[in-house]
Structure 1
């Protein structure tokens, strides 16, 4: 732990002072700082090493899967299902092309996110909140008061659970968000079907589990950092979701932990990044993997990404556990059954600290 973090200041007070500005990390950058505040200093153990900043061998790349022609070409579909099975089992991440979403829709969502975060602080402050019940919220670091070190990013998010009024979405984001949501959910449905088939289940199986009933969209803004080697854009973590679908700009910085090595998820214009969430690893009984990933802090920017989280309803009373059709004497359940809300509460009580799956092991 850096000395500045370990000694000599009241972290709780500085966290509150930062939070009370309601201006986020963007506000710090706009103020002209050349040194990052101590609350953003990460421990040496968590910070990237020099070998983590790219330079990956060309043979180590996130799988890229092309969905083109899978509807009308049965052999092509079988090949894609096999590719998704392998990527989900060995990487937990893959990039999708040929998904059918116009590039303009993705670009407009990125630009609308930029416009929101780059408007005046007083306008953004109107929806600044840490209330998890709010369907529309802007903040910096959802786990600001739980984490040991803050991340160098701000976020605006929307919970689409059937009760959100689109008119509550800020005007600068509204049209792009609703168009983006419509297209992304279509891709999400297709991916859930392919994942069901990849598990050897009927195509509608995961959808029948309500795996994508609730949708949370979060739009991250990572301002340029004056001391990027001392902090992170997002600390290493897994997602507490069934599935996450991400669109990112061309700046880079997203990394996935693969066989003990951090691998860059190189931006590919028009592609979507898909990753398996904790809940899907759990119900698949570890056939598919939810892997740790992180975002580097960068000296240039801003970096912008937009993620759609697909989940069951948090108030669903059905117990979730390993899918019975996947179990046998040779493949017994690795996890106990649970309520989704219990998993979510446990995950968020710990902040971004890796995976929560071990807590639910049998």
Structure 2
């Protein structure tokens, strides 16, 4: 019984340490996300507040662990999906197994592309640890429409897609 209690205490300590670390990491990611959106706003010649408002909507942090598996093609670490967050920052390890769907085929690519259909596979060489932080929009239940930034539109640069709600986007792409 004492061994079990000691294990429970160790797990509780570990959980507390992990939560504390994740909270600290999240604070740094909020700063990085803010800087990234500030630079993006400047690059697009937009008012700083135009994109910075997205930071105020919330940050989701997720740590993913994928153990080694001898036949990675038989596993899918995450299902094929499209991210519906405004911005996702991914801290990944040295193993590149992010895959994008291109012409109905999964292609392994460095994770430098935009919000495209993608999946993550397990690896036969080593375990993987990914930490991602996503800056989200309003909640899925919101009826707010999202579309192109109006300051970037002109007669020569019309919208490339129609405005949609987070709920409709998620239902269609997720």
SS of equivalent residue, structure 2 residue 138 = coil
Aligned residue number for residue 327 of structure 1: 153
User: Does residue 51 of structure 2 align to residue 216 of structure 1?
Assistant: no
CA–CA separation in structure 2 for the residues paired with 1:303 and 1:337: 36
Q: Any unmatched runs of 5+ in structure 2?
A: 1-6
Q: Provide TM-score, normalisation by structure 2.
A: 0.74
SS of equivalent residue, structure 2 residue 24 = helix
Q: 1:171 aligns with which of 9, 13, 16?
A: 16
Is 1:316–1:339's contact at 8 Å kept on the other side of the alignment? yes
User: Does residue 83 of structure 2 align to residue 239 of structure 1?
Assistant: yes
Aligned residue number for residue 305 of structure 1: 130
Change (3 A) 1:256 1:212: farther
Residues 164-192 of structure 1 show CA distances to partners (whole Å, capped at 9, x for unaligned) of: xxxxxx42411111110010110000111
The Cα of 1:263 is off from its aligned counterpart by: 4.7
CA–CA separation in structure 1 for the residues paired with 2:86 and 2:77: 23
SS of equivalent residue, structure 2 residue 158 = coil
Q: Any unmatched runs of 5+ in structure 1?
A: 1-118, 124-169, 266-272, 277-289, 352-362
Which deviates further from its counterpart, 199-208 or 185-194? 199-208
Task: Choose between structure 1 and 2 for higher RCO, CA contacts under 8 A separated by at least 6 residues.
Answer: 2
User: Does residue 71 of structure 2 align to residue 227 of structure 1?
Assistant: yes
Q: Provide TM-score, normalisation by structure 1.
A: 0.39
Change (3 A) 1:188 1:178: same
SS of equivalent residue, structure 2 residue 64 = strand
